Structure 1
């Protein structure tokens, strides 16, 4: 079974990283209301991870979805980091993601891509999520926080550990899909080239968006189509800068990025369309894309995402995006399928 065919209610999912208190200390009630808003708007795919708030996102997703039947939604989480009972006393170092979860739970986080660590991570996640199974499992952030050749060593641990464990779970029908959950193209390319690893999906954050798609367009998406591996696109708003935020790639957006966003926004305004509509519909126009999972931490944002998919965008908008060099001429666009 493919990732695409496992989705219950269309390609729009819910990215729960913000519920781990990404960038701000989100009140519990607001977090739960956001998940319920997604449910009421028809969203039935929810993605989270132990890393998001040191377990906080999973706890909140589990609490919010506990009122619904497990068969009525699709759930994905990630492996590669264990959340310990021990409290972290020193400064956390997560590379470019280091400042994301300033308001996270204080639990210590330990990297572990081994087979044993993978199974422990899934067991812990199911407890936090209050479920008896996970549908999709992503091996999280290989190559993210390891510099030089160190990430290749971690990749090999995952190759003989997490990949093997998840392949077995997929073969046994325990999970519906697995792959990597990363924001780098290189580890996905390595994984797709392995003869003994058969992932059926990949979660790619921030690498196929209006602002950043050239590398994925040339290397990742064609390889995924060839291997019949479905792509789930995370971070379609590029850390929020395409949705009115100030961050790009988890950091304050540069003047160059803000200038490009301003050009896209001006064009969208001229055609009277929300920039969110352009961002989401661009992502879904690629035939390799099975789902898109924008993040949200406010209930009203969900309605915007759902409405964005229904907006009719004039063909001339996309032609101008191409002519102005705001999207690659090679990128599939909604007009190409009309």
Structure 2
């Protein structure tokens, strides 16, 4: 799998990771846990490392922590989670709980989820970063209606990462956020690369166009993710899944040729038609 550097440190990061919203909220169900373990196996087998979670995602942090703690092979995961509450003390307590659930003393990336009490939490995170409790800090959102607020924070704060939505069906981020992230030297995580599943649902049953083979794609998953990765500002895309075969298909998008944005100009209309 290709890797791209985190601008603030030049640390390479594999370009396809795994989101855990919905798919990893399975509690202690042994069958579901085993299947999610196979999802992570597929991620690591393909060279991926990024796992993104949040206290908002039910039991997902606990599930990720259990699965990482019981893996026989100890590939180094890049664990990202979030703080999603109001107030300094509540934020500290929530982040400490997340670390316990994830089974880590240091989180690779801690993000302020959906810009909730951003200024307060970033102050804490800068202290934690200086102490080595977190590796990187960032902010997130999942809808283009929040781009104006996200842009203000990105311009005003010293960050390492920004996370937001981008897909072939929602390209507004191309206008300001992606260029701004490059300008500010931020790593970019992309959520909802399938448009919350709507794009894949609309493509179900449709044959891949002939040009998909030109870039080594066997599935629509790969096509849609390669589209996202065509943007040079994107560091890593984090599609969520609960199925190992889908994780393997997603991860394959990070291999081989990733065409530049111009290559897609006459192909996007055919995808979203």
Task: Specify the alignment match of 1:124 in structure 2.
Answer: 97
Task: Specify the alignment match of 2:190 in structure 1.
Answer: 233
Listed as ranges, the gaps of 5+ residues in structure 2 are 1-5
Flag the 1:71–1:301 CA change in 2: closer, same or farther, 3 A. Answer: closer
Listed as ranges, the gaps of 5+ residues in structure 1 are 81-111, 143-154, 246-257, 328-338
User: Partners in 2 of 1:216 and 1:4 — Cα distance?
Assistant: 24
Of the three residues 112, 122, 140, the one matched with 1:181 is 140
Task: Specify the alignment match of 2:153 in structure 1.
Answer: 191
Where relative contact order (Cα < 8 A, 6+ residues apart) is larger, the structure is 2
User: Partners in 2 of 1:164 and 1:314 — Cα distance?
Assistant: 39
Flag the 1:271–1:325 CA change in 2: closer, same or farther, 3 A. Answer: closer
Flag the 1:139–1:223 CA change in 2: closer, same or farther, 3 A. Answer: same
User: Partners in 2 of 1:34 and 1:50 — Cα distance?
Assistant: 20
2:212/2:223 contact within 8 Å kept: no
Per-residue CA deviations over 1:236-286 (Å, capped at 9, x if unaligned) read 11112333x4xxxxxxxxxxxx4xx579x5563674542222211111121
Flag the 1:326–1:38 CA change in 2: closer, same or farther, 3 A. Answer: closer
Flag the 1:193–1:15 CA change in 2: closer, same or farther, 3 A. Answer: same
2:106/2:132 contact within 8 Å kept: no
Flag the 1:3–1:277 CA change in 2: closer, same or farther, 3 A. Answer: farther
* Bigger Cα displacement from structure 2, 302-311 vs 179-188: 302-311
Task: Specify the alignment match of 1:163 in structure 2.
Answer: 122
Of the three residues 167, 185, 193, the one matched with 1:209 is 167
Corresponding residue pairs, total: 255
Flag the 1:75–1:313 CA change in 2: closer, same or farther, 3 A. Answer: closer
Secondary structure of 2:180's counterpart equals helix
2:51/2:80 contact within 8 Å kept: yes
* Bigger Cα displacement from structure 2, 295-304 vs 267-276: 267-276
Q: Is 2:5 aligned against 1:32?
A: no
Cα distance, 1:130 vs structure 2: 1.3
Per-residue CA deviations over 1:93-147 (Å, capped at 9, x if unaligned) read xxxxxxxxxxxxxxxxxxx2322222111110111111111110111123xxxxx
Task: Specify the alignment match of 1:77 in structure 2.
Answer: 81
2:189/2:237 contact within 8 Å kept: yes
